[in-house]
Copies of this chain bind each other. A is one copy, B any other.
């Protein structure tokens, strides 16, 4: 999330060349969910329990630094814990990118700090904000894990109706533009060994199927905003 201006300029230049009718181009190695091939992968996915509760709460990050809050709001809604009510929701409950910041969450990471340098949330801050909502959270830095462990954990938890997984990865490592990013995982396809990322930067990229090894490598990158720890994933349950 650093160098927001540089990211914006790069994205804008790319947008000009695609006439702004679509998201940024994807590398050959990645499959968009919004293609016949990507749709077929979901229909025949070996682990897709989490896709449904997440997809019905799929949302676009409110600003370029808010991938963390958008991902957290989706997961809190999917977990079906009691949701904050408002007049705008007829007195019914829904988490959004503002009301996730309860006093306990603000104590972990103030909303205002996310839109100021160094911008965004770290893996540990995402875990901390989720824990502030009284959830059981496990934060795993990729350097402390390995591909096989991640794959097996993620498959198990994508298939159950208890856990959700959020991944924090470096976009450039999977040939996307450009910096650190956070989004929930929706599904796993065994035939292609790919995970589905429900990318909350919906103006920038569609949900993508990315190879497990490529995703793990993109998580196993150093985050200079997080004491040079590696990125990784957060597992959360009620």
Contact = CB atoms under 8 A, between A and B. Distances in A.
Interface of A: 7-8, 11-12, 15, 19-24, 33-34, 38-39, 43, 48, 52-53, 55-60, 62-64, 80-83, 85, 87-94, 202-204, 206-207
A90 B55 contact: no
Contact of A39 (B11, B23, B52): B52
19 contacts: A11-B90, A11-B91, A15-B90, A15-B91, A15-B92, A19-B82, A20-B92, A21-B82, A33-B52, A34-B56, A39-B48, A39-B52, A56-B207, A58-B58, A64-B90, A83-B203, A89-B204, A90-B204, A92-B203
Copies, count = 2
Interface SS, A side = loop
Contact of A58 (B11, B55, B89): B55
A38 B19 CA distance: 37
